[in-house]
Chains A and B, each alone.
Chain A
Amino acid sequence: MPPVETSHRARAGRIALYLTLSVISLVMIVPFVWMLLTSVKTPGDIAAVPPRLFPTEWAFGNYADALRAAPFATYARNSFVIAASHTVLNVLIASMAGYALARLRFRGSSLIFLAFVGALMIPTYTKILPEFLIVRFMPLFGGNDITGQGGTGWLDTWWALIIPGAVSPFSVFLFRQFYLDLPVELEEAARLDGLSELGIYARIMTPLVKPAFITVALLTFEGSWNNFLWPLLVTKSDSLRVIQVGLSVFRTENDTQWAFLMAGTTLATVPMVVLFLIGQRYFVQGFATAGIK
């Protein structure tokens, strides 16, 4: 009886598929589980050899103690302020630019577009040294004179944390792709109705690419929250530290306090996991669009 045999085979294949996927998923998740479990262990449990997976005593007080040991709450707030600012500025400025490059082609617009694409090729590590110098020698800020000498410029200020990373060429590129797909008729009709170009962008075309806005917003927020090297370079004071820098400093200053460190790490990762779970559709769409177009 061939049909029964194939259905047996199909079922065996299905079980093998589930098993393989479960093992892979487990491997991907285990570090996070280990992080969460460590964050509620007592020092005794942490030092145990061989290590125990589950704590013998659940030390939920670790979180309160960690917040007392280092201002992780301030760090997280700073990260949030910066990520939110980057998101708003990037979505606004990059969408306008993307729209202009897609729909309002003017003399030189294709050259500008090519320049943005070229800018994507320049590695962060080539830009970051001169960017640091521009921030350091920003004229008339932080005690600097008009030539940028004498003070510390934007170093250790919100300016340095927010302005240089405010617009990404990649977002301009993405927005251009999204606006390119809209029908010309809508734009023409609005123009005949006497709507200004800015009005057409803001009131007619942009509502049609709302998913694109959410996608770029989420990707920007995530990238900004997870950024490390730039905030490390331009900040010194504890009150301006972002969560990723705060974690790395805490680690070097308190070498063995794994429970506190894992509590802080949980604080740094959980918001992004939650954001991803809520906006998964848009994340997936964003990465897929970036990948296929």
Chain B
Amino acid sequence: MVSTRDRVRAAAPGPSTAPPRRRGLLRARRRAGLLMVAPAVLHALIWIGIPLIAAIVLSFTSYDVLTPPRFIGLENFRDLISDNVFRRAVLNTSIYTFFTVPVAMGIALLIALMLNTRLAGRAIFRTAIFIPQVTATIAVALVWLWIYDPRSGLANAVLSFLGLDGPAWLSSTDWAMPAVIVVGIWQGIGLKMLIYLAALQSLPTDLYEAASVDGASKVRQFFSLTLPLLRPATFFVFVTSVIGAFQSFDQVYILTDGGPANSTTMMTYEIYKSAFREFRMGYACAQSLVLFALLLFLTLLNRRITGGDRATR
């Protein structure tokens, strides 16, 4: 599989180079390439390749780590179908993703549009909005745990200042999920805003000048120019955010432990529980493959719908 670019580059030294020397150079280059890529490939084989195969194999077994795995065919997957808690986890993960991703994307785009102006102090705003992204989810979830404290927390203090009676947040089956979603939106805005801002700054200005000359209003420009031009960025943000949201774990671990009554448990949380609290490794592997399949399906579906990130380039 020698690409054309390779051939062109190999020929580049020119006619003065004698063929045997060129062949020696090529061989040296190939050897150097293999040598340089080897550590990364070896690492990926051990810590990604083998685990992927092992997960598939173990999903057909019953395995508690202490005794050798026992082949049980499709039993894990049959159990999965009738597992109400896991079904609840799939639903919760979908609800969480459905609310966090589009809301955070919308807010992020609005902020990016506001910051994409000649504004004094925009670096300060950008920094403030991005900081939740660089801080650990465990740490910020602990802060939110304290904010949601029903008696002395900040959330209910603000609500009572507004004359409202706050709920018991994390111990309420109705309010625990919205509370987790708020944390997800709050932490997710920064990165999306940054990607949108970078995309906005690379948009061609001449198109906008032409649109202004033609008398297109700002709103019109946004919908007929900016939004279509942002499609690659939107696609990227959407896919990565959905993948990220589907793998949320830390905030649930700290805030609710999946409760109350499984109202906030996620697929990742069920995988963790099956494997490390119930020691059902085979079953946990089957659950993790369902997660993998769902993510793969969503990625391919998005590529199909939006025509991938190549469509507008």
**Chain B residue with Cβ nearest A116:** B44
* Interface residue range, chain B: 35 or more
State whether the Cβ of B28 lies closer than 8 Å to any Cβ in chain A: yes
State whether the Cβ of B206 lies closer than 8 Å to any Cβ in chain A: no
A259 to chain B, nearest CB (A): 10
State whether the Cβ of A96 lies closer than 8 Å to any Cβ in chain B: yes
**Which of A49, A228, A284 interacts with B194 by CB under 8 Å?**
A284
A134 to chain B, nearest CB (A): 7
Per the CB 8 Å criterion, the residue count for chain A at the interface is 98
State whether the Cβ of B39 lies closer than 8 Å to any Cβ in chain A: yes
**Chain B residue with Cβ nearest A13:** B117
A125-B291 in contact given A21-B125, A164-B47 (Cβ < 8 Å): yes
A228-B136 in contact given A31-B147, A126-B55 (Cβ < 8 Å): yes
**Which of A17, A25, A126, A284 interacts with B198 by CB under 8 Å?**
A284
Encode B279-295 as 1/0 by CB contact (under 8 A) with A. Answer: 00100110011011001
Contacts of B202 in A (CB 8 A): 292
CB under 8 Å from chain A, chain B span 6-36: 6, 9, 12-13, 25, 28-30, 32-36
Contacts of A197 in B (CB 8 A): 28-29, 32-33, 36
**Contact yes or no, B199 A110, CB < 8 A:** no
Contacts of B127 in A (CB 8 A): 276-277, 280
Contacts of A251 in B (CB 8 A): 142, 145, 254
Contacts of B128 in A (CB 8 A): 25, 28-29
**Chain B residue with Cβ nearest A29:** B128
State whether the Cβ of A124 lies closer than 8 Å to any Cβ in chain B: yes
**Contact yes or no, A196 B194, CB < 8 A:** no
A248 to B130, CA, bound (A): 24
B128 to chain A, nearest CB (A): 4
State whether the Cβ of B275 lies closer than 8 Å to any Cβ in chain A: yes
Contacts of A226 in B (CB 8 A): 135-139
- The A interface, classified by DSSP as helix, strand, loop or mixed, is helix
A28-B129 in contact given A48-B152, A291-B236 (Cβ < 8 Å): yes
* Partner-contacting stretch, out of B70-78, B80-88, B170-178, B245-253: B245-253
Contacts of A272 in B (CB 8 A): 134-136
**Which of A96, A109, A262 interacts with B40 by CB under 8 Å?**
A96
**Chain A residue with Cβ nearest B131:** A273
**Contact yes or no, A191 B2, CB < 8 A:** no
State whether the Cβ of A30 lies closer than 8 Å to any Cβ in chain B: yes
* Partner-contacting stretch, out of A1-9, A32-40, A56-64, A208-216: A32-40
State whether the Cβ of B52 lies closer than 8 Å to any Cβ in chain A: yes
Encode A116-144 as 1/0 by CB contact (under 8 A) with B. Answer: 10010111111111111110100000000
**Contact yes or no, A248 B281, CB < 8 A:** no
A196 to B74, CA, bound (A): 54
Binding site for B on A (CB under 8 A): 14, 17-18, 20-22, 24-25, 27-32, 34-35, 38, 46-51, 93-94, 96-97, 99-101, 104-112, 115-116, 119, 121-134, 136, 164, 166-167, 169, 172, 184, 188, 191-192, 196-198, 201, 222, 225-226, 228-229, 233, 244, 247-248, 251, 258, 261-262, 265, 268-269, 272-273, 275-277, 280, 283-284, 287-288, 291-292
Q: Top 10 A-B pairs ranked by shortest CB distance?
A: A197-B32, A288-B198, A104-B33, A97-B40, A130-B51, A130-B54, A291-B195, A226-B136, A25-B128, A100-B36
Sample of 19 more A-B contacts, CB < 8 Å, known A121-B299, A248-B254: A18-B119, A25-B124, A28-B129, A34-B147, A105-B6, A105-B33, A109-B33, A116-B44, A126-B52, A131-B51, A133-B281, A164-B47, A198-B35, A226-B135, A228-B137, A244-B136, A273-B134, A287-B194, A291-B233
22 contacts between A and B (CB under 8 A): A17-B119, A25-B124, A29-B131, A50-B152, A51-B153, A93-B43, A97-B37, A109-B33, A125-B249, A125-B267, A129-B275, A134-B50, A164-B47, A196-B32, A251-B145, A262-B146, A268-B136, A268-B139, A269-B135, A288-B198, A291-B237, A292-B199
